[in-house]
Chain A
Amino acid sequence: MPGNPYLPLDVRVEKVTVENDAKDLKTFDLSFVDASARTAFEFIPGQFGFLSIIGTGEAPFGIASAPSEEFIKYTVKRVGGFTTALHELEPGTVIGMRGPWGNSYPLDLMQGKDVVIVSGGFSFTTLRSTIVHLLDPKRRPQFGKITCVYGARSAGELLYKDEIKAWESSSDIDLHLCVDKLGSDPWPRTEGLVPNVLKQVAPSSKNAIALVCGPPIMIRFTHPVLEALGFRPDDVFLSLENRMKCGIGKCGHCNLGSKYVCKDGPVFSYSQLRGLPAEY
Chain B
Amino acid sequence: MTQRVITADGLAKLVTEWAKKGAVYAPVKAGSKDWTEFRRVTSLKETDFSRVNTKQSAKGLLFPQREVMLRFKDGKSEEPAAPEEQVILGIRPCDAAAIAFQAKFFTGQGQTDPYFKARLDRTTFIGFACNTPAETCFCTAVGGSPSGTRGLDLLLTDIGGKYLAEPVTDKGAALIADMPDPAIGDLERKLAEKCAEQMPQAIDTAALKRRLDSGFEHPVWDELNLACVNCGACTFLCPTCHCFDVTDEERKGRGARIRVWDSCQFCIYSQHASGHNPRQTARSRYRNRVMDKFKYTVDMVGELSCVGCGRCIIECPAGIDVRETVEVLTRQLPEAAEKK
Contacts and interface: CB of A to CB of B under 8 A. Distances in A.
B219 interface: no
A36 interface: no
A279 B279 contact: yes
Interface stretch (B159-167, B222-230, B262-270): B262-270
Which of B253, B257, B292 has most A Cβ within 10 Å? B257
* Ranked 9 nearest A-B pairs via Cβ: A252-B243, A258-B299, A55-B250, A279-B278, A1-B114, A248-B111, A258-B296, A245-B246, A79-B273
B299 to A, nearest CB: 4
A280 B278 contact: yes
B contact residues, range: 35 or more
Nearest to B108: A249
Given A55-B253, A242-B272, A263-B110, A253 B72 contact: no
Interface stretch (A2-10, A188-196, A200-208): A2-10
Nearest to A246: B246
B244 interface: yes
Contact of A54 (B72, B110, B284): B72
A137 interface: no
Interface of A: 1-7, 54-59, 79-80, 83, 94, 215-216, 241-243, 245-246, 248-253, 255, 257-258, 263, 277-280
Given A251-B243, A279-B284, A243 B248 contact: no
B315 interface: no
A250 B272 CA distance: 18
A252 B242 contact: yes
B242 A250 contact: yes
Contacts of A257: 216, 291, 295-296, 299
B70 interface: yes
Interface string B110-145: 111111001000000000000000000000000000
Contact of A245 (B79, B109, B114, B244): B244
B264 A258 contact: no
Given A57-B247, A251-B244, 10 more contacts: A6-B114, A7-B79, A54-B248, A242-B272, A242-B278, A249-B111, A252-B243, A253-B269, A258-B300, A277-B216
